[in-house]
Amino acid sequence: MLQKTIQAGSLPALEAMMRFTGQRQRLLAHNIANLTTPDFQAKDVSPQGFQEMLGEAVAKRRKRTGGVDGGLDMRGSREVKVRRDGSLSFRPSDSGGVLLHDRNNRDVERLMQDMTENYGMYRVANDLMRARMGVLRTAISQRVG
């Protein structure tokens, strides 16, 4: 029953997103720190790929329990492996696949944008999880205000 309470509603999805964005932040900071390093190849994991994987797991969970409780069963992708305890291990690929004629110029702005978006998503997941946990705690304590 404890497990069901902790995995209620949207909490597993929020936890997964928090793990992903938290780990990706380190990757992006590494890329930005090496902006002027010669022969440095920036690497990244695709957030769209992770969201697809998360979407599949959420759909499976909804079919299984109606989305009310239960853990997420993520199958993992080439870039993101999911361990048993839910933690993730990254295998980042080279970012910037197609070599555009202005690739050198766009790296700075795109890197900053990636970092901003990643942090934004982390904040959203974090705040939503805190709100959801707050409601849970209110329900458990049975006293409001």
Partner 1 sequence: MSDPVGLIGGSGSPLPNGKPQGPSNEPTDGDAFRQALFGQLREVSEMRQDADKAVEDLMTGERTDLEGVLLATQKADTAFQLLQQMRNRVMEAYQEIQQMRV
Partner 2 sequence: MFGSLDISTSGMVAQRIRLTAASANIAGANVVEDQYGNYAPFLRREVMLASGDPSATSRDGQSLGVHVREVYQNPDALRARYMPSSPHADENGYVMGPDISSVAEQVDAMEASRAYEANVAAAEVSKAMLAQALRLIA
C-alpha 93/C-alpha 74 separation (Å) is 20
Stretch in the footprint of partner 2 (CB under 8 A) among 16-24, 82-90, 99-107, 136-144: 99-107
Nearer to partner 1, 40 or 76 (CB): 76
Indicate which single residue of 49, 76, 86, 120 sits in contact with partner 2 (rule: CB under 8 A): 120
Burial group, residue 32, by CB count within 10 angstroms (0-12, 13-18, 19+):
middle
Q: Among partner 1, partner 2, none, what binds residue 102 when CB lies within 5 to 8 Å by partner kind? A: partner 2
C-alpha 1/C-alpha 8 separation (Å) is 10
Element (H, E) at 38: none
Q: Among partner 2, partner 1, none, what binds residue 100 when CB lies within 5 to 8 Å by partner kind? A: partner 2
* Residues lying near partner 1 in the complex (CB under 8 A): 9-10, 13-14, 16-17, 48, 51-52, 54-55, 58, 67-68, 124-125, 128, 131-132, 135, 138-139, 142-145
The amino acid occupying position 28 is: L
Burial group, residue 75, by CB count within 10 angstroms (0-12, 13-18, 19+):
exposed
C-alpha 67/C-alpha 9 separation (Å) is 6
Stretch in the footprint of partner 2 (CB under 8 A) among 10-18, 22-30, 67-75, 126-134: 126-134
Q: Among partner 2, partner 1, none, what binds residue 106 when CB lies within 5 to 8 Å by partner kind? A: partner 2
